[in-house]
Structure 1
Amino acid sequence: MSIHHSRTLVSDDFEAVNRLIVDKITAQSGLIDDLANHIIQSGGKRLRPLLVLLSSQACCYPGQNHIQLAAMIEIFHTATLLHDDVVDESTLRRGQQTAHGIWGSKASILVGDYLFTLYMQLLVALEDLSIMRLLSEISHQTACGEIRQLNNRHQETPSIDDYFEVIRAKTSLLFAASTASGAMLAKADDVTVQGLYAYGLHLGNAFQLIDDALDYCSDAQTLGKNIGDDLADGKATLPLLYALQHGTPLQQQHIKTSLSEGTLEYLPQILETIAATNAVAYTKTIAKQEVDHALTALEVLPNSAYKTALEDIARYALDRDH
């Protein structure tokens, strides 16, 4: 399953979003243009703007402001990626060299800051106070999630609760904002807005869980990033946490040492432990539960091609390999 059909359903609007993003960024020149375009044109799924478009149309929105809403959410997401790669010292994203690897950390941070200001300008220009309240809170929570993840790094005995709090703040809330704001733009009732918010939240959880599973069962070429990056960063994701709980004392010590020291010395042994404890299968089972919750949340919507597309995206979250 892919998201191609879902994108085709709103293809004209999707292209309008891409044009608006490019127009806003290329209004500048030099470093901003080069660096921002590098990450925007690097093959991302544009999933968040797609969710805005589908959600607004599922709620029968008749206007054009969904284009601006979708574009600014993608610009915000792009800014967070620029900062993420600096914090994580990542060298590979989506199969390409990261921006900070090409232009340096200072440039990535400053252009990320610029994109944040562009996002805020577009948000204010939308002139919708309810959406402004929602997205300003999501922006705050995203930053809190980044700080919490940084604080949690390199702990020998990390918490599963902390893990879920981080993925909620860093990933899932922006999915929820994308779907809920589309409904809010269409002036949908509270039940519908809350249903789409819940859909986005559970969908974001599922996507992150599968991302974290793939980090231990895929390869760098398919995944678009280096295998073991999370381990080297001292990030304890669910497959690792499950293996830590169910491994032998020696296996547990390998994981604890790797997390605390940020070393890949024991990566082969840890991959064997993850396989032996069925940690990836467990993670995918939890992701499936999140998808089921997301599909249930969509029951607030009347049947339509747009609702079906949202359902397809939820199922796609489980089936992808990158």
Structure 2
Amino acid sequence: MSLDDKATKPHDRLAAALNAEMNAVDAMIGQRMVSEHAPRIPEVTAHLVGAGGKRLRPMLTLAAAKLCGYDGPFHVHLATAVEFIHTATLLHDDVVDESLQRRGRPTANLLWDNKSSVLVGDYLFARAFQLMTDTQNIRVLSILSNASAVITEGEVLQLTAAQDLATDAGTYLKVVRGKTAALFSAATEVGGVIAGAPEEQIRALFDYGDALGIAFQMVDDLLDYSGTSDVIGKNVGDDFRERKLTLPVIKAVAKADAEERAFWSRVIEKGDQQEGDLERAMALMAKHGALKETRAEAIAWIERARAALRLLPEAPLREMLDDLADYIVARVR
């Protein structure tokens, strides 16, 4: 989900507060994505890194560390590692999903090829682990390496659950916790760990990131049916065309009558999609309140994120993180 629009005041405020640190992250990205022997690596990486993403995840690491009083150099290493992990997963996801557009631009697999995207993603994972070891902190290495494994588990679970109308909201939550929330929670948690924060605060940072990531993905899935291409950075209805069982579809299927279920079976399970099917799918979601219910669940997760923040020190950064959480769901009000 892109955060590019005029209402991004919480994100802009956070970016301004972390300007010096984010400049350091940008510099480190430039240094660590270089390859002496394979120039395609920086070419592919620069295409995606330079595509206008707001770098929310590394900012969460920097904000968490500073909120907990950290004044050393290694939060920059960890924020860069988080961004590399995120970029690697995007490269791999676009290959798996056969996507043609990312952040409003052609995907790397379209401009180059699938092999380049997969291998450059692998390279970025390796660079991320180098950055983690630079900190000489085994706990942050454990957190981020575990997150990398969980992300992959989430993607594989999504593959096995895809196109199966028996997939329920519980399975969806497991997928979202894996493929999205795991990196959010790791990004915030390692900020507290590198700062040497008390365990209660580290747990609160994890809880904030976890709930924020879940809500973030729910809103992303919601915007696929209610947003616009310039806002979401991809084509509206891509999830439908890719036959993804996201929460709005799962909720509509759960309330479907026999005729409606036959429709969902045709377009999702069998992949037989015809002109007008996307519009009918959206009408069925509206009929059964699936979009409204998804938004309500996203708001509930945001409230959990905001509650976790109350266990952290009072500071302008905490207020910005609170505003950021509120903004994520405000985009679909």
Q: 2:31 aligns with which of 16, 23, 42?
A: 23
State the distance in 2 between where 1:163 and 1:203 align: 16
Residues 81, 263 of structure 1: alpha-carbon distance in 2 compared, 3 angstrom cutoff = farther
Which consecutive residues of structure 2, in runs of 5 or more, have no partner in the other structure? 1-6
In the other structure, the counterpart of 1:11 is 19
* Matched residue SS, 1:216: helix
CA displacement at 1:256 relative to structure 2 = 2.1
State the distance in 1 between where 2:239 and 2:110 align: 18
What residue identity is the alignment partner of 2:267?
A: S
Q: 1:294 aligns with which of 293, 302, 305?
A: 305
State the distance in 1 between where 2:197 and 2:267 align: 49
Moved more, 120-129 or 290-299: 120-129
Q: 1:128 aligns with which of 129, 137, 154?
A: 137
Is residue 64 of structure 1 aligned with residue 73 of structure 2?
yes
Query: Are the equivalent residues in 1 in contact too, given 2:77–2:134 (CA < 8 A)?
Result: no
What TM-score do the two structures reach when normalised by structure 1?
A: 0.96
State the distance in 2 between where 1:320 and 1:75 align: 27
Is residue 304 of structure 1 aligned with residue 315 of structure 2?
yes
CA displacement at 1:27 relative to structure 2 = 4.5
Is residue 205 of structure 1 aligned with residue 207 of structure 2?
no
In the other structure, the counterpart of 1:37 is 46
Is residue 138 of structure 1 aligned with residue 147 of structure 2?
yes
Residues 98-247 of structure 1: pairs in structure 2 closer than 5 A? 98-247=107-256
In the other structure, the counterpart of 1:285 is 296
CA displacement at 1:263 relative to structure 2 = 4.1
CA displacement at 1:129 relative to structure 2 = 0.7
CA displacement at 1:62 relative to structure 2 = 1.3
Query: Are the equivalent residues in 2 in contact too, given 1:155–1:234 (CA < 8 A)?
Result: no
State the distance in 2 between where 1:231 and 1:262 align: 10
Query: Are the equivalent residues in 2 in contact too, given 1:52–1:179 (CA < 8 A)?
Result: yes
Identity value in percent: 35
State the distance in 2 between where 1:93 and 1:206 align: 20
State the distance in 2 between where 1:262 and 1:17 align: 42
CA displacement at 1:218 relative to structure 2 = 1.6
* Matched residue SS, 1:166: helix
CA displacement at 1:157 relative to structure 2 = 2.2
After superposition, the C-alpha distances for 1:3-60 in whole angstroms (9 at most, x for unaligned) are 1011111111111111111121135452111111001011112010000011001101
Residues 155, 269 of structure 1: alpha-carbon distance in 2 compared, 3 angstrom cutoff = same
Q: Which runs of at least 4 in structure 1 moved beyond 4 Å after TM superposition?
A: none
State the distance in 1 between where 2:229 and 2:221 align: 13
Moved more, 261-270 or 49-58: 261-270
State the distance in 2 between where 1:166 and 1:178 align: 18
State the distance in 2 between where 1:68 and 1:138 align: 16
Number of aligned positions between the proteins: 321
* Matched residue SS, 2:302: helix
Query: Are the equivalent residues in 1 in contact too, given 2:189–2:203 (CA < 8 A)?
Result: yes
CA RMSD of aligned residues (A): 1.3
Moved more, 275-284 or 186-195: 275-284
State the distance in 2 between where 1:136 and 1:65 align: 17
CA displacement at 1:252 relative to structure 2 = 2.3
* Matched residue SS, 2:99: coil
Which consecutive residues of structure 1, in runs of 5 or more, have no partner in the other structure? none
What residue identity is the alignment partner of 1:107?
A: S
After superposition, the C-alpha distances for 1:125-171 in whole angstroms (9 at most, x for unaligned) are 11101111111111111111111111111113222111100000110
Moved more, 182-191 or 247-256: 247-256
In the other structure, the counterpart of 2:4 is none
State the distance in 1 between where 2:298 and 2:231 align: 20
Query: Are the equivalent residues in 2 in contact too, given 1:228–1:264 (CA < 8 A)?
Result: no
Residues 67, 244 of structure 1: alpha-carbon distance in 2 compared, 3 angstrom cutoff = same
In the other structure, the counterpart of 2:88 is 79
What TM-score do the two structures reach when normalised by structure 2?
A: 0.93
CA displacement at 1:173 relative to structure 2 = 1.1
